[in-house]
Structure 1
Amino acid sequence: MNGVETTFDIVVGIDASADAELALRWAFANAGLTGTRIRAVLAWGPGGRPRVVDDISPSIGVDDLEHAALQVLHDAVRRTHPGDLAVDVVERTVYDAPSDALVEESRDALMLVVGARGLARMRRMFVGSVTARCAQEAPVPVVVVRGPAPPEPDGRPILVGVDGSESSLAALRWAALQAGLRRVPLRVAHCWLPEPPFDPACLPAFDPPAFDEAVLEKAARLTLDTAVEQGLASRTDVAVEAVLVAGSAAHGLIVAARSAQLLVVGARGRGGFGGLLLGSVSHQVVTHAPCPVAVIR
């Protein structure tokens, strides 16, 4: 297919994997709430196209491969399209590597939605290389979807992690929008360590200052309350629950996500290196969280 006019679509990466179809189902549900168009994209460049494209193509000719790619894409859309939902869908095939194609397609999009793992994955990998690069480089919010399928209706909260950084405040605002669309609570979490991250007994030559857990908790609560005030000052349409989670940021959010329908994080929080495209916390939750994860820039 030829070029797509500039619009704000939800771009979804398709590769005939089960996770990609979960991503498409998630995108359909979101599009139904917002009236947004879906742009389903399948890349079929050398070394990056789904094997099923080669399997159903009568030859390795470019025209036959493109036709086969379109058929694989169309079948995926047909299988996942909710029959009772009026959502416009553009089916687009791109002759390029999957990560390059999806990052480029996302430049004029509202968001990019991908499955956690594609077909070309190693069994021990928790997140695919294409997914990781999309989360690192796409200029729009990236939603990484993994199973199992959510309950219907899904009244679980949207969970967002905050640390006071501008990135986390952007994530908070985006999460509030999603909670409002779904009419579910917004759970705002700040993770903190009630104990120092080292054992003073292991450092006999070092005399650390005394740690007062109550003081640390008060500081953590101030960070949380300030983030909520700054990020949600004008919103009154969402029920907000602000919670402190004891533990490291990544582990705390992964555990808290067990009862959430979506976890939202900033691409990079406090303490990261300026040159990093994706922070360690966001990378870990994308890799290990039990629910879909949205990474916000």
Structure 2
Amino acid sequence: MDVSATVVVGVDGSPSSFDAVVVAAREAVLRGSALRIVHAFSRQLTKVPLGPSGVAQPEGVLDNEAQQTAEEAAARARLAQPGLEVTAAVVAGSPLSVLTDASQGAALVVVGTRGLGGVTGLLVGSVAVHLAAHAACPLLVARGRPAASGPLLLGVDGSDVGDAAVGWAFAEASLRGAELVALHAWNNWTGPVAVGPGVQMPPVYDLDTLRAEAERTLEAALAPWREQYPEVRVVPQLIQEYTRQALIEASEEAQLLVVGARGRGGFAGLLLGSVSQAILHHAACPVAVVRREQEPEHRYELE
């Protein structure tokens, strides 16, 4: 295959970030690319008191620990994927700015879901959300079940913005030789829902009409990519359910969940709203977020 861009992974020394290194190493091998490990290091962020004495670590100790973190991550990557080209660097700055810069020209940037608190941690609520909005390439958050098995799950909303995620998901399914489950949750505001005291039932609509519209939306989103990737087996799924719940439940069987950065309906404001927070915190598999600007320009050419 002709995919030369580097896969970048951010590490901070936490178990979650080291797990992300293993996932990133596998992604690099899939793409035939190198792996670049980045440890963002800022003395202002890491000078915290240690123990009851309240004495901060000397600068030399902090520098050594940062370098050891990067080297340990590189060793784990090489152990997980022997023969993989791996580089590791300690870069001055905050994780937000360092990883955003590192995403330039990268095929993928990978982070974990938990870090070392608010000091240098790669947190879902900060670094991952920031990268999803500002990285120059798709973001993969390594969480849940890391095993590369099962179908690839795609959340479809039918928006122009979401089309980038659809194209990226087709390319990934082709690359992995995986089945693609394209899920469209169409009953976010209508139909029977559980209500409690003081909660009113939503207006009643013609569910047959809504279902037919949802079918057209899903097929329109998939059709052009089916033609470009005829080898990908696609399983369209229409689910009368709230978007977040449908995707979280379906992620139990998936090897990767792909969503767009913004969309309409249940995906509106994905990066900032409750849907994204629910997915990033509760999905049972890694989650990839793709923005409109990151729509694939070409398909992977497999040897």
- What is the distance in 1 between the residues matched to 2:283 and 2:22? 19
The corresponding residue for 1:290 is 284
The corresponding residue for 1:26 is 23
2:271 to 278, 283, 286: 278
- What is the distance in 2 between the residues matched to 1:69 and 1:271? 43
The answer to whether the aligner puts 1:220 opposite 2:219 as a matched pair is no
How far off its partner does 1:46 sit? 2.6
Show structure 1 runs of 5+ residues with no match.
Answer: 1-6, 52-56
1:195 to 175, 191, 197: 191
**Aligned positions of 1:74-113 closer than 5 A:** 74-82=71-79, 85-113=82-110
The alignment yields a C-alpha RMSD, in angstroms, of 3.2
State the one-letter code of the partner of 1:167. V
The corresponding residue for 2:263 is 269
The range that moved more, 129-138 or 216-225, is 129-138
| Aligned residues of 1:41 and 1:94 also touching (Cα < 8 A) | yes
- What is the distance in 1 between the residues matched to 2:241 and 2:82? 41
SS state at 1:222 partner = helix
> Is the alpha carbon distance of 1:224 and 1:83 closer, same or farther for their aligned partners in structure 2, counting shifts above 3 Å?
closer
SS state at 1:215 partner = helix
The corresponding residue for 1:54 is none
- What is the distance in 2 between the residues matched to 1:227 and 1:40? 35
> Is the alpha carbon distance of 1:126 and 1:97 closer, same or farther for their aligned partners in structure 2, counting shifts above 3 Å?
closer
- What is the distance in 2 between the residues matched to 1:261 and 1:50? 38
State the one-letter code of the partner of 1:174. W
Show structure 2 runs of 5+ residues with no match.
Answer: 49-55, 292-303
> Is the alpha carbon distance of 1:198 and 1:222 closer, same or farther for their aligned partners in structure 2, counting shifts above 3 Å?
farther
State the one-letter code of the partner of 1:106. S
State the one-letter code of the partner of 1:32. V
> Is the alpha carbon distance of 1:284 and 1:167 closer, same or farther for their aligned partners in structure 2, counting shifts above 3 Å?
farther
The corresponding residue for 2:124 is 127
- What is the distance in 2 between the residues matched to 1:126 and 1:232? 36
- What is the distance in 2 between the residues matched to 1:58 and 1:283? 35
- What is the distance in 1 between the residues matched to 2:199 and 2:98? 51
- What is the distance in 2 between the residues matched to 1:126 and 1:68? 20
1:12 to 2, 9, 12: 9
| Aligned residues of 2:40 and 2:94 also touching (Cα < 8 A) | yes
| Aligned residues of 1:46 and 1:97 also touching (Cα < 8 A) | no
The range that moved more, 87-96 or 260-269, is 87-96
SS state at 1:255 partner = helix
How far off its partner does 1:104 sit? 1.4
Provide, for residues 6-26 of structure 1, a one-character-per-residue CA deviation record: whole Å limited to 9, x for no partner: x82111000111111111111
| Aligned residues of 2:260 and 2:290 also touching (Cα < 8 A) | yes
* Number of residue pairs the alignment of both structures matches: 275
- What is the distance in 1 between the residues matched to 2:74 and 2:128? 20
SS state at 2:230 partner = coil
| Aligned residues of 2:243 and 2:266 also touching (Cα < 8 A) | no
State the one-letter code of the partner of 2:220. T
SS state at 1:81 partner = helix
> Is the alpha carbon distance of 1:83 and 1:50 closer, same or farther for their aligned partners in structure 2, counting shifts above 3 Å?
farther
> Is the alpha carbon distance of 1:100 and 1:49 closer, same or farther for their aligned partners in structure 2, counting shifts above 3 Å?
farther
| Aligned residues of 2:270 and 2:276 also touching (Cα < 8 A) | no
SS state at 1:190 partner = strand
The corresponding residue for 2:298 is none
The corresponding residue for 2:155 is 161
How far off its partner does 1:249 sit? 1.4
| Aligned residues of 1:113 and 1:143 also touching (Cα < 8 A) | yes
TM-score, normalised with respect to structure 1: 0.81
| Aligned residues of 1:265 and 1:282 also touching (Cα < 8 A) | no
> Is the alpha carbon distance of 1:166 and 1:231 closer, same or farther for their aligned partners in structure 2, counting shifts above 3 Å?
farther
SS state at 2:208 partner = helix
2:237 to 233, 243, 255: 243
SS state at 2:124 partner = coil
SS state at 2:79 partner = coil
**Aligned positions of 1:225-236 closer than 5 A:** 225-236=219-230
